[in-house]
Amino acid sequence: MNFGHYIIIEGQLEGGRFSCYSRLSGEHFVAQLMESRRNGTSGRGRTYPCPFLKNEPRSERYLCAIYPTRPNFCREFRCSHMDIFNSAGERVGRVGGKKSLLSKDRPLLTFWDREISPLATDDDQTWLPRAQSMLENAGYRVVRYE
């Protein structure tokens, strides 16, 4: 997952705060760097994987430097292949492992059962772009996660 493409830092404020925008949700938020995680996290220039991830010294772990003030998208994140949005910009579905649709949206569920489920392939490299194209042709916006 690469959040760096989706979180835009609009400006630096005082006291380790940043004015930010989430491209996925359209949410504007103020990120506050945690005091214990300020060193090594400038919030500037880095876009991969997220401008607010801090590498732990002598470790392969990364920690969120704005955890208490992280955007809703991060709070609601669940590992998935893609999110599906309706024409109003509301997330109406999420595709999880084994190409399973997680949704309560009746039109999307019907479309999925009729058009997407019958796609016969075990190859994600083929299935994902094909499913995305079909969903987009049906009027949905799809965000895929590599």
Q: Which residue has the tokens 């999925």?
A: 112
Can you give the pTM of this predicted structure? 0.53
| Residue 60: per-residue pLDDT | 65
| Residue 21: per-residue pLDDT | 87
Closest of 42, 38, 40, 46 to residue 8, by C-alpha: 46
| Residue 97: per-residue pLDDT | 72
Looking at the DSSP bridge assignments, the partners of residue 62 are 55
Looking at the DSSP bridge assignments, the partners of residue 102 are 94
User: pLDDT class for 137, splitting at 50, 70, 90?
Assistant: very high
Closest of 99, 88, 101, 97 to residue 141, by C-alpha: 88
